[in-house]
Amino acid sequence: MFFSLYRCPMLLDLDLVNFSRKFNDLRLPSCALLALRLILQSSVRDEETSKLLSNKNCVVEILDQVVTFKKSRKPLPMIDQVLHFLEEISSCGEIMSCICYGT
C-alpha cells in the first residue's frame, strides 16, 4: 500500500495527512508515520507526527511492524529513515536498534 503512495508521480498533490490517518485507522502506524515524513511543510509534518506519536503504544506498534516487515522481507521504502527518526525522539534508541537490527 505505502509503496504505491511512495511511487506516485503526483505525490505533492495528495493529501498526505489524510492518507496517514487512513493508515492509522487500518492499524498501520508505520505506514502512517512514513506518509507524514513525505510532507514537505515542516510545521504540518511535525504537528501531525506529534499527534500520531502521542499515543503511548504507537512507537511500540511501529517497531513491531518494522520487525514484521523485516522478517518477512517485504520491502518498505524509507523504513531506515523512520527508524532513525524514532531513535532521535526516543530515550531508548539503542534498545530500538537492537530490536530492529538484531544486534
Q: What mean pLDDT comes out for the span 26-45?
A: 89
**Which stretches within the chain are classed as H helix?**
2-6, 16-25, 29-37, 42-53, 58-72, 79-89, 93-101
Q: How far apart are the first and last CA of the chain?
A: 29
Q: Give this prediction's pTM.
A: 0.73
pLDDT tens digits for range 13-23: 678 899 899 99
Gap between the Cα atoms of 97 and 91, Å rounded: 12
Gap between the Cα atoms of 46 and 42, Å rounded: 6
**Which pLDDT score, from 0 to 100, does residue 24 have?**
93
Gap between the Cα atoms of 70 and 54, Å rounded: 25
Would you list the domain boundaries of the chain? 15-101
